[in-house]
Amino acid sequence: MENVIEIKGLSKCYGTVKAVDNLSLRVKKGELFAFLGVNGAGKSTTINIMCGTLVSDSGLILIDGLDAVLHSEKVKNKLGIVFQSSALDPALTVYENLESRAALYGIVGEAFKVRLGELSRLLELDGLLKRTLDKLSGGQRRRIDIARALIHKPEILVLDEPTTGLDPQTRKVIWNVVSDLRKNENMTVFLTTHYMEEAAEADYVVIIDKGRIAAEGTPLELKNSYTGDFITIYGQNEEEIATLGYPYEKISGAIRISVPNTGCATDLIIKNPEMFSDYEITKGKMDDVFLNVTGIKPEGGEEK
């Protein structure tokens, strides 16, 4: 797969604070890319530079092979952005909002109506078009934000913490929409999130800390590198588990043992078959990866 985003040696300082420090990464076409980090890690700065609203001190960003600075207009046509907070006009109707945002890309008149029809079918907007934005629920508003981001048929959808503050049901709706977009349109999705369960679904994850990459890889690679496995045993007493010599914790109706990796878990089971009559082995979670990489517990919901 070809790279649709390439960032090379990107740096940006605010006074003496290095917001982004020699950052390099790549995003492949059609993939769901998760960009993780605590607040102030440099995520928003990177996105702002990528979108052309901020100028870097040094480095290069290529979007679909185009320099984001030299070909700013073309690059902006390739990016659709869903901001953390809706940037649409609450007093205007959905139609008026999308009409004005489409005009920013030169999509007016009949071209706008055609595109609106496509988006209405994709995001089920028909019943919402005449309603003002401030009368919509959080989930409906988010759908309109996504419609705004897609109004000019971008190749890359940038989601900047799109589900922060939304209830689980609405988050599910939003992710279904994003999932359909990826499946049907082969859309590349560049995601920042505090919810590790969302990052766990990504094709590739980059965790940044203090403007630098702290870890990167697929969720599985990260889990293998930064967390161990867990064996959850049912119906055994604590004294016997303690003899195994591995750290453990009591959870509801079971005991969970932490082991460094799957091989170690297998050895343990083979050597102590009498203890392992009812058990399950699970990989570590993205929360554990984030915690081990940054030393900070993620703010959002935990991976299930």
Pick the binder of another protein from 96, 201, 203, 221 (CB under 8 A). 96
Closest CA to 92 of 151, 126, 140, 135: 135
Q: Check binding of 76 to another protein (CB under 8 A).
A: yes
Q: Using CB atoms within 10 A of its CB, is residue 251 exposed (0-12), middle (13-18) or buried (19+)? A: exposed
Neighbours of 254 (CB within 10 A): 16
Q: Which is nearer to another protein, 142 or 285 (CB)?
A: 142
Q: Check binding of 108 to another protein (CB under 8 A).
A: yes
Q: Check binding of 73 to another protein (CB under 8 A).
A: yes
Q: Check binding of 69 to another protein (CB under 8 A).
A: no
Smallest gap, in angstroms, from Cβ of residue 131 to another protein? 14
Pick the binder of another protein from 99, 155, 197, 209 (CB under 8 A). 99
Q: Check binding of 115 to another protein (CB under 8 A).
A: no
Span from 59-67, 88-96, 203-211, 283-291 in contact with another protein (CB under 8 A): 88-96
- Helix (H/G/I), strand (E/B), else coil: 257: strand
Q: Check binding of 58 to another protein (CB under 8 A).
A: no
Q: Check binding of 205 to another protein (CB under 8 A).
A: no
CB-based contacts of 258, cutoff 8 Å, min separation 6:
228, 229, 230, 246, 247, 248, 249
**What b/e string do you get for 3-29 counting C-beta neighbours within 10 Å, with b at 16 or more?**
bbbbbeebbbeeeeebbbbebebbbee
Q: Which is nearer to another protein, 92 or 244 (CB)?
A: 92
Q: CA-based angle 270:276:281, to the nearest 5?
A: 85
Q: Binding residues for another protein, per CB under 8 A?
A: 51-55, 72-74, 76-77, 79, 81, 83, 85-89, 91-92, 96, 99-106, 108-109, 148, 152
